Homo-oligomer: A and B are copies of this chain.
Amino acid sequence: MKIALDYHSSEPLTQQAILQIKLLIVKQVLKPGDRLPSVRQLAKDLSLNPTTTNRIFSQLAQEGVVIQRPGLGVFVADGPTPFSAEYINNVLSRQALGLLVEGLRYGLDYEQIQAILEKQYDCEIRNKK
């Protein structure tokens, strides 16, 4: 499983890893039922402490992204997590506002911000270009 961490970033390593794993699921590189690396194996791969990789999976499990099975391993959960439309809208609206404010503050206009979003979708999700 290819996960790249920036060990010098101010963004916590656990948050980086969580985004990377979600990204692999969204890209369907990982599909429901697929097994992820074990707590100890991922710790070796990422040069992290097993306690840390376990927390990564625990947080993902709490969000309903993965399922942890003692003795067996960690597996990708089925489909999207069932949250209310209102909750989803609130979370994403807040995140979208953050992107907008940062972009506008940097002097970009709405179209340019939209273009960045589209490029990320094409390149990072769809693997086009």
Interface residues of A (CB under 8 A from B): 19, 22-23, 25-26, 65, 79-81, 83, 88-89, 91-93, 95-108, 110, 113-114, 116-121, 124-125
Using CB atoms, name the residue of chain B closest to A125: B100
In contact, B116 and A92 (Cβ under 8 angstroms)? yes
In contact, A99 and B96 (Cβ under 8 angstroms)? yes
In contact, A106 and B120 (Cβ under 8 angstroms)? no
For A80, list chain B residues within 8 Å (CB): 105-107
In contact, B95 and A98 (Cβ under 8 angstroms)? yes
Considering the chains assembled together, what is the distance between the CA atoms of A113 and B96 in angstroms? Answer: 9
Known A26-B105, A83-B106, A114-B114; judge A19-B99 contact (CB<8 A): no
